[in-house]
Amino acid sequence: TQQLLSGRGPRPKPFRVTNADRSVKKGIMADVLEDLMNKVGDSLSVACVGALVLDEDGTGVDTEEFFQTLPDNAVLMVLEKGHKWTPQTNSPSRDQL
């Protein structure tokens, strides 16, 4: 009965999360940042998740508030501790909308 009043909390959104060398990308659903942080470790076999950043420009997604502003299917990169984001070398009109 505790879930009768739905509409509470954010709804899960789809994200696309890649690893640091962009060799693997996974579709992952998450409702809050912590949820996504937990799931990316398993899904992408990252032992120690250091940070989530936007793939397009390396913007760090550190806060729940900013996380909630991301659109469906935002592309993120998971970084292990000590790793750094690097720009894509060849991206001709990669995410033209």
Is residue 96 at the binding interface for a copy of itself, with CB under 8 A as the rule?
A: yes
**Who contacts 7 (Cβ-Cβ below 8 Å, separation ≥6)?**
none
Is residue 10 at the binding interface for a copy of itself, with CB under 8 A as the rule?
A: no
Nearer to a copy of itself, 35 or 48 (CB): 35
Is residue 24 at the binding interface for a copy of itself, with CB under 8 A as the rule?
A: yes
Q: Exposed/middle/buried for 47, CB within 10 Å: 0-12, 13-18, 19+?
A: exposed
Of 35, 37, 41, 54, which lies in the binding site for a copy of itself, with binding defined by CB under 8 A? 54
